[in-house]
């Protein structure tokens, strides 16, 4: 556990997004991914995801701030055959380095275990090297590279004990 993380978990638990959270979810995703647009040469896929449907399906989880309408971070989880897919992790700009992304990924691992799934998988754009370094530091292993449009995504997987 990181310094101050236990206090943050108690004050700001991770909760399932509700339909009323849609504007805050979409605002957070836009803010989190906007800096990546010039780096990856276009809009990352999470910027155009169907959040009303994802929220309705119970796949979006938020961790808050002192203002319930301004989440600090979110994660989108999709159960698949034998694995839990982390489709998106977004942290509000200005809050990077505070353990929010790590806490959300730990939550994903706990959810996979709760669902009886032995692994978590995720992917990131090949040019998002900072994200790849974090994934590897958290024990995710590269399993491949996949072409997407004019670029590539890097695939990761973590087997859970």
Assigned domain for 95 exists: yes
β-pairing, 73-80 with 83-91? antiparallel
List the pLDDT tens digit at each of the 161 positions of the chain: 333 444 444 457 899 999 999 999 999 999 999 999 999 989 999 999 999 999 999 999 999 765 567 899 999 999 999 999 999 999 999 998 899 999 999 999 999 999 999 999 999 999 998 889 999 999 999 999 999 888 899 999 999 98
Assigned domain for 88 exists: yes
Q: Is the pTM of this model over 0.75?
A: yes
Assigned domain for 74 exists: yes
Domain range for 32 is 5-120
Assigned domain for 157 exists: no
Assigned domain for 24 exists: yes
CATH number, domain of 80, equals 3.40.630.30
Assigned domain for 62 exists: yes
**Strand ranges in 36-150 using DSSP code E only, listed in sequence order:** 60-63, 73-80, 83-91, 119-125, 141-148
What tokens does 37 get? 């647009």
Closest CA to 27 of 46, 6, 1: 46
């Amino acid at each position: 556990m990181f310094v101050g993380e236990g206090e943050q978990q108690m004050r700001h638990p991770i909760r399932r997004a509700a339909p009323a959270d849609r504007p805050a979810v979409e605002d957070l995703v836009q803010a989190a991914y906007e800096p990546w647009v010039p780096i990856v040469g276009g809009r990352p896929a999470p910027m155009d995801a169907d959040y009303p449907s994802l929220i309705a399906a119970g796949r979006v989880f938020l961790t808050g701030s002192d203002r319930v309408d301004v989440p600090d971070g979110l994660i989108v989880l999709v159960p698949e055959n034998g694995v839990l897919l982390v489709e998106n992790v977004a942290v509000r700009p200005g809050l990077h380095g505070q353990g929010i992304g790590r806490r959300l990924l730990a939550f994903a691992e706990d959810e996979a275990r709760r669902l009886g799934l032995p692994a978590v998988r995720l992917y990131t754009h090949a040019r998002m090297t900072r994200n790849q370094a974090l994934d590897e530091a958290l024990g995710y292993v590269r399993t491949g590279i996949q072409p997407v449009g004019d670029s590539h995504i890097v695939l990761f997987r973590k087997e859970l004990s």
